[in-house]
């Protein structure tokens, strides 16, 4: 099974997000990511077999941050199509 991962960001594209170093940043960042996952599921639908929306911690050179990703079985056409829809059709605002 080939595993694919698409980064969807921490929040909707046109929304601001909690930056590392702000007071209470870890809890707020996690809450924002959970809200984004819920929004994606509401807009795109629940994940099909072989796809999963997850929150992960990335650790780039400039410090770690939380982001939402969609992991999918690259050999599963339905899972791959769902991941691509999440990337292309994700809501850009909370509304």
Distance CA 24, CA 32 (A): 12
In a domain, 8, yes or no: yes
- The answer on pLDDT for 33 being more than 80 is yes
- pLDDT at residue 45 in the model: 96
Per the structure, the complete domain to which residue 69 belongs is given by 3-89
Tokens 């809501």 label which residue?
91
Q: Is 53 helix (H, G, I), strand (E, B) or coil?
A: strand
Per-residue confidence band for 74, with pLDDT thresholds at 50, 70 and 90: very high
In a domain, 95, yes or no: no
Contact 30, 54 (CB under 8 A): no
- The answer on pLDDT for 60 being more than 80 is no
- pLDDT at residue 63 in the model: 65
Domain count for the chain, please give it: 1
Distance CA 39, CA 45 (A): 9
- The answer on pLDDT for 78 being more than 90 is yes
Q: Please give the angle made by the CA atoms of 24, 93 and 80, to the nearest 5 degrees.
A: 100
């Amino acid at each position: 099974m080939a595993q694919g991962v698409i980064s969807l960001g921490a929040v909707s594209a046109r929304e601001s997000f909690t930056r590392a170093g702000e007071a209470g940043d870890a809890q707020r960042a996690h809450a924002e990511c959970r809200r984004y996952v819920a929004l994606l599921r509401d807009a795109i639908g629940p994940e099909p077999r072989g796809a999963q929306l997850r929150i992960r911690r990335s650790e780039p050179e400039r410090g770690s941050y939380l982001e939402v990703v969609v992991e999918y079985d690259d050999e599963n056409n339905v899972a791959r199509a769902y991941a691509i829809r999440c990337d292309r059709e994700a809501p850009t605002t909370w509304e």
